[in-house]
Amino acid sequence: MTDNSLLQDFIVETGEHLEETERNLLRLEQQPEDAEVLNNIFRSIHTIKGSSEYLGLERISELSHKLENLLDLLRRGERRVNGAVIDLLIGTNDRFSQLVDDLAHHQQERAAIDDLVQRIEGYNRGAEPVSVEEALAETSPQVDGDAIEDEYDEELFGIFVDQLKDGLQALCDQTVELQSGQPAGAVLSQYEDRLGTLQSSANYM
């Protein structure tokens, strides 16, 4: 069992690191090329990893280890910082906070980490994360304004756009699952279903 005084020290110190990381993530979102900010985030996660390993906190240790690998790839320029990566980093920081809160109230880690570990491993293996906004920007065709009819159902069009965003994000996530070693059959079936839904919606519009 972990020494209670050491655990309390870890909770306080890790909370401070997570707060600092949150501030740095906001800066990184505005300045994705800022190497100093990325290095600061890396150092905080490295410290959390070392402390959690020493205390035998398996979930925090595993998650921080995977994240440290991704941050190292980002620092070396082997992966790019984009909206999807920022979202993942923020989500992981929030999960660390949940785990620390578990320790503070229950003296054990309760929050699951498998979903984040899977996504991070996919990126580490080479899956390039793409945000919904980037996917829309890259796939949106150039349309002659004169070809657009003056009248259309604005409400239906708004629903279609929301479905398109959700569908593209799901396709991005399923691509990561494939590249992270998930069984191809089930993922491809979901992929096909999602494409069929998007096609039907587009045809209706």
Q: Which pLDDT belongs to residue 197?
A: 65
Amino acid at 125: R
- Residue 141: pLDDT above 50? no
- Categorize the per-residue pLDDT at 167 as very low, low, confident or very high, splitting at 50, 70 and 90: low
CA dihedral 9, 11, 13, 19 (to 10 degrees): -160
Distance CA 111, CA 108 (A): 10
- Residue 95: pLDDT above 80? yes
- The mean predicted confidence, pLDDT, of the chain is 81
Q: Which pLDDT belongs to residue 154?
A: 67
> What distances in angstroms separate CA 69 from CA 85, 187, 198, one per listed residue?
13, 26, 35
Q: What is the pTM of this model?
A: 0.63
